[in-house]
Amino acid sequence: SQKIEQNSEALNIQEGKTATLTCNYTNYSPAYLQWYRQDPGRGPVFLLLIRENEKEKRKERLKVTFDTTLKQSLFHITASQPADSATYLCALGYSTLTFGKGTMLLVSP
Amino acid sequence: EAGVAQSPRYKIIEKRQSVAFWCNPISGHATLYWYQQILGQGPKLLIQFQNNGVVDDSQLPKDRFSAERLKGVDSTLKIQPAKLEDSAVYLCASSFGTSEERQFFGPGTRLTVL
């Protein structure tokens, strides 16, 4: 069956460091992948989309890679700030989106 | 630009009761989604509408859940009768076109079934 795995444990990093979040999947051939941010008590907010024929996408301090051979996406936040603390969800898409469980990121000052 | 509106924000009911949630998507968005998010999990798609037609409802428990999107604008999701395991946040989202495009989520309705 289709499976999406994100870092199960919370990721704790210090301000200014680069945070790297992982999204692995099996039994799936997504046409695209999206990353969302979710704060407690709020709906997810879209961050980036990357298509299967793209290797990398950047937006300000965010970078996402997509390796369809490894079946993996990496999400990087450079120069992290305490305001980046949130849960980050990856979502794989073909005709509909399937979300992972998310990884909680905690950035300490 | 107004975001996706949902109501109510919170609802507490007894098991076997019925409940309805309402969603108003962003103006002009053709696609509307209902997701269920259980604590500690990612959102799970229940139903996807394109205008007022259903694109995907394969994960909607049709024996108790129903949804409609009359006139291709706002939508309601109903649960009847509710079970304890229905306790979750119900998120509505919309996008201009297909699900490949970014989805805009509402704040969600937190349902507690006692």
As a whole-number percent, the residues of chain B with pLDDT over 90 amount to 89
Q: Flag whether pLDDT at A95 surpasses 90.
A: no
Q: Return the half-sphere exposure (C-beta side, CA atoms, 13 A cut-off) of residue B4.
A: 32
Q: What is the pLDDT of residue A20?
A: 97
Supply the pLDDT for residue A9: 84
Q: Touching check for B25 and chain A: CB below 8 Å?
A: no
- Which DSSP symbol is given to B41? S
Query: A46–B45: do the CB atoms touch at under 8 Å?
Result: no
Nearest to B114 by CA among B82, B90, B73: B82
Q: Does any CB of chain A come closer than 8 Å to the CB of residue B91?
A: yes
The answer to whether the Cβ–Cβ distance between A96 and B91 falls below 8 Å is no
B88 touches chain A (CB under 8 A): no
Nearest residue of chain B to residue A88 (CA atoms):
B42
Contact B39, B32 (CB under 8 A): no
Give me the pLDDT at residue B39, please.
95
| Best CA proximity match to B59, nearest among B44, B79, B40 | B44
Distance from CA of B30 to the nearest CA of A (A): 14
Tokens of A30: 């997504």
Provide the pLDDT for residue B15.
97
State residue A73's pLDDT score. 96
Residue in B48, B47, B45, B44 with CA at minimum distance from that of residue B31: B48
- Of B40, B103, B107, nearest to A101 by CB-CB distance is B40
State whether residue B9 sits within 8 Å of chain A by CB.
no
Cβ contact B108–A43 (<8 Å): yes
Q: How confident is the model at residue B70 (pLDDT cuts 50, 70, 90)?
A: confident
Give the mean pLDDT of A4-11: 89
Report the pLDDT averaged over residues B34-43. 96
The b/e string for A28-63 (b: 16+ C-beta within 10 A; e otherwise) is eebebbbbbbbeeeebbebbbbbeeeeeebeeeebb
A6-27: average pLDDT = 94
pLDDT at B5: 97
Q: Flag whether pLDDT at A28 surpasses 90.
A: no
Q: Report residue B99's pLDDT band, with 50, 70 and 90 as the boundaries.
A: low
Select from A35, A34, A14 the least CA-distant residue to A79: A14
Q: Cα(B48)–Cα(B67) distance, rounded to whole angstroms?
A: 10
pLDDT, mean of residues A55-69: 95
| Nearest chain A residue to B103, by CA | A46
Q: Inter-chain contact A43–B105, Cβ cutoff 8 Å?
A: yes
pLDDT of residue B40: 92
Residue B100 has pLDDT above 80, yes or no: no
B55 confidence band (pLDDT: 50, 70, 90): very high
Distance from CA of B22 to the nearest CA of A (A): 15
CB B81 within 8 A of CB B17: yes
* Mean pLDDT score, A7-13: 88
Whether B107 sits inside 8 A of A100 (CB atoms) is: no
Confidence band of A29 (pLDDT split at 50, 70, 90): confident
Per-residue pLDDT at A66 exceeds 90: yes
Query: Among residues 47-86 of chain B, which lie with CB inside 8 Å of chain A?
Result: 48, 55-56
pLDDT of residue B11 exceeding 80? yes
Q: In angstroms, what separates the C-alpha of A30 from chain B's closest C-alpha?
A: 11
